[in-house]
Amino acid sequence: MSALESLTITNVRGYVEPFTVEFEKGKKLCIIYGENGTGKTTLSDALELLSSGTMGSLDNKGLGKAKKYWHPAGKNGKRGTVELKTKAVTYSASIDNGVVSWTPPALKPPLAVLRMRQLLQIVTAAAADRYSAIADLVDVSGVTQSEQALANLAKEIERDVQAQTSRVAGAQEILQKLFASASGSNGDSLEWARANIQRDAVDVLADVRALDALKNACESLERSHEAYSTVYKTLEPVRTEADEAAKALVVIEHQVCVADAELLELLQAASRIFSAHPQSEACPLCDSTEHAVDLGVRVQSRLAAMGALRAARKRQTDSARALGDANTRLSLVQKGYANERTSFEQLLTTHASLGSTMSDAGPPANVADLAAWLENTRLQKEAWAHQRDELAVSGSNAEKLRQALKTYDENYALAERSTTLHAALKRGLDRMKLTRHVFVNALLAEISDEVARLYEQVHPGEGLRKINLSLDQNRRASLDLSTRFQASDAAPPQAYFSDSHLDTLGLCVFLALAKRRSPHTNMLVLDDVLASVDEPHVDRVIEMLYAEAQHFRHVVVLTHYRPWREKFRWGWLKHGQCQLVELGKWSESVGPTLVRSTGEIERLRQLLTPPDLDGQAICAKSGVVLEAVLDFLTELYQCRLPRKPKNDWTLGDLLPAIDKKLRPALRIEMHDPAAPSGYKSHPLGPILDELQTIAQTRNVVGAHFNKLAFELLDADAERFARQVLELAELLVDPEHGWPRSNKSGSYWATAKDTRRLHPLYMPG
Amino acid sequence: MTNQGNKLLPETAVDDVDTPDEVLAKRVVADLIENGLISQTDGERIQNALAGGKLDGPGWKLAFENCIERQEVK
């Protein structure tokens, strides 16, 4: 935010007409003075509306929806505007029926408003609310969330370590048992397992497979034997039937004397004709009538004889075919057996290492001899089955061994890695917690120290310097405020401080926090924050505000504290850093008004400007200014003055108090870049001498109605006033005030060392 | 950065400065690097996520494991 130039408010609450405050260039502190009811709070409301779209002064006043009171009373339809011009940008907000809009959209000035009623809240707020006030300054919830993820990961890896270690122990137990069952003794099971794992795993499984193959080969031979037996059993009856059928056919063929089958076909054709023509009287073949009678019957008879021959022939054919089939099956069985026999002998040769009680002779060449051979090898077959079962158990143990060793190796490596990772994570988590703790405490300590430093400026030497802000360790987002009070190092200030002290503390906390929020770009608005500060501390609060304002872009203080205005008018404050804006009486038709606020010395200079010189006015004003100058000098040098009940000294008391020792020693060095030493010296003694001779002019012309005044010329009044003005302008720098600092050790100086008043002490 | 939710101080916009989370994240990363727990490269990689509360278990694990692996190689 760049330097402020002006603020214009129109149709906002009591501001019924456009009202503009011009900000003076280079002055970071602006005091807006006004009696109650002159529009100060509305001015701070307008700024707050511009920055945040709210009006804090209307909160908690039982108004319900306070937005309808943002407009002038009875003029809700009127569009209100607030415009803040800076060197770089103009911030503008308008309100229409309680709806705020910004131009340009969303462009709001960075400013914070503190009102008097908030002061106590800052201190007396609940710890959680107090934390929310500083949350943006100390909130590290993002890092805390990531830290929690790290903590969770550390726990997860710790569980992994436990699980992996447990699996390693389980595998070790299995290995130990296998080792014990294999060797019958205790020892290094791991070393044993590694030595045995390869051999067992390969050899045993191969032997088991070989024995399974032998068993299968044996079973194939058995099946060959069974097949042979089955075929052989069916062969004999078939062979007998074939013989018998052949013999029966010979007999029938002799009986029927049939040359060939062609006759049979002829007879079958004749039979069909006689069946169709039973009354035929001639042979259908030769058409002869001889022996034609009963020819059909005779044909049927001969066909019957031919049927037996046909049946005999069929029987012979069928039995011969059945015999052929049986022989074929036998041949297939024998062929299959030959193959099985070859396979078996090959297996036996290949796996000779498995041992065999079998004679050197393998299965017999003829399957018919197989039954005896099978009977002879039955014991060997049982031995192989037993051997195979034993090897299978051994193979199972080998698999267990392999699995256990694999589990051991894998989890041992994982456990080692997880243990290393867990140690690193745990260490990282501890480091992170420590870093966060140190960081947050340092932040709070910095804020605490700043609060304490500011507070000490207002309440020096009251033993209340130590102000602590600390996070509640047992609760999240909770901020404790404590102070060293009497015998306690952590007393809640709310319990022991007066409301005035708590208000001051609230202001200090607000300023300390605001300073941490990029103060050089921010604007502060302090609304009536001096109201509850007791008299002895007001000047110090004002001094503190002067000093702290330099850290911000701009500080606007709204106050009805009259002494501040008076001190400003008399140049007792640092005009170079500060602007005074005075609000006049508010009226219903015009709203607030501006009063021209001019310093007394400047006012005197203006009165002395021709052409309308008013002798009475300039004498009255110059008398007051001279009294102020003499009051300052006599107090500074602790001059002797007559004792009076109210110390209401007159010029007659004050002028002689600058005695003959002091008067000639008094001189002002004014900063002058053209002078060789940078300063030009001006004696004050001659001016004071002159004033002492004409001081009566003030009483005669400027203080009372006095007929003697009739005899004095306006020039006498002007002469007096110009001497006073010369004295005042030598002594007081319009920008940097009065020479009140004795830090040089040899003279009194104004701010920025623009005036040097000599001597430092009353001459002896 | 804004002081949202602040009941005691009004909303105040401020400059684009590091948030406490960002400042702390830088310090945490620097400390972890200095103590040989993570590498410079991983530190730079995780810093923003750490500040934003987005660094999860796998993110942390990778950074720590990378560092352990490098130390084992050495």
Q: Does B21 touch chain A (CB under 8 A)?
A: yes
Q: How far is A69 from chain B (nearest CA, A)?
A: 20
Contact B68 A518 (CB under 8 A): no
Cα separation, A466 vs A322, in Å, equals 126
Q: Which residues fall within 8 angstroms of residue A137, CB to CB, at 6 or more apart?
A: A443, A447, A513, A516, A517, B20
Task: Identify whether the C-beta of residue A581 lies closer than 8 Å to the C-beta of residue A31.
Answer: yes
Chain A residue whose CA is closest to B25: A143
From A354, A394, A415, A536, select the one nearest A171 (Cα to Cα): A415
- Is A4 a residue whose pLDDT tops 90? no
Answer whether A666's CB lies under 8 Å from A685's CB: yes
Residues A334-373 pLDDT 10s: 999 999 999 888 888 877 766 655 555 678 888 888 888 8
Place of tokens 């099956």: A329
Reading phi first (left if > 0) and then psi (alpha if -120 to 50, else beta), residue B39 is in beta
Pairing assessment for the beta strands A523-527 and A111-115 based on DSSP bridges: parallel
pLDDT tier, A261 (very low <50, low <70, confident <90, very high otherwise): low
Set of chain A residues whose Cβ sits within 8 Å of the Cβ of B67: 424
Most confidently modeled range among A344-348, A588-592, A617-621, A622-626:
A622-626
Which residue in the set B9, B38, B53 is minimally distant from A513, CB to CB?
A: B9
Query: A726 versus A648: which is more confidently predicted?
Result: A726
- The per-residue pLDDT for range A481-503, each reduced to its tens digit, is 777 777 777 777 877 788 788 88
How does residue A142 score in pLDDT terms, banded at 50, 70 and 90? Answer: very high
pLDDT at A51 over 80: yes
Q: Look at residue B6 in the predicted model and tell me its pLDDT.
A: 41
Give Cβ neighbours of residue A495 (< 8 Å, ≥ 6 apart). Answer: none
Phi, psi of A647 (to 5 degrees): 50, 35
Interface probe with B: pick from A100, A122, A517, A551, most Cβ of B within 10 Å: A517
B73 lies within 8 A of chain A by CB: no
pLDDT in tens, A437-453: 899 888 888 888 888 88
SS (H, E, C) A12-46: ECCECCCEEEECCCCCCEEEEEECCCCCHHHHHHH
Q: Do B37 and A431 touch (CB under 8 A)?
A: yes
pLDDT for the residue numbered A361? 66
Q: What is the pLDDT of residues A560-577, one digit of tens each?
A: 888 888 888 887 776 567
**A283-319 pLDDT, tens per residue?**
877 888 887 778 888 888 878 777 777 788 889 999 9
Query: Among candidates A696, A702, A699, which has minimal Cα distance to A616?
Result: A702
Q: Which residue has the tokens 């306070």?
A: A66
Model confidence, pTM: 0.60
Element (H, E) at A714: helix A714-731
CA angle at A550 for the pair A602 and A114, rounded to the nearest 5°: 100
CB neighbours (10 Å) of residue A386?
A: 11
Nearest by CB to residue A146, choosing from B3, B6, B49, is B49
Q: Is A751 left (phi over 0), alpha (psi -120 to 50) or beta?
A: beta
**Are A110 and B14 an interchain contact pair (Cβ–Cβ within 8 Å)?**
yes
Higher pLDDT, A130 or A720: A720
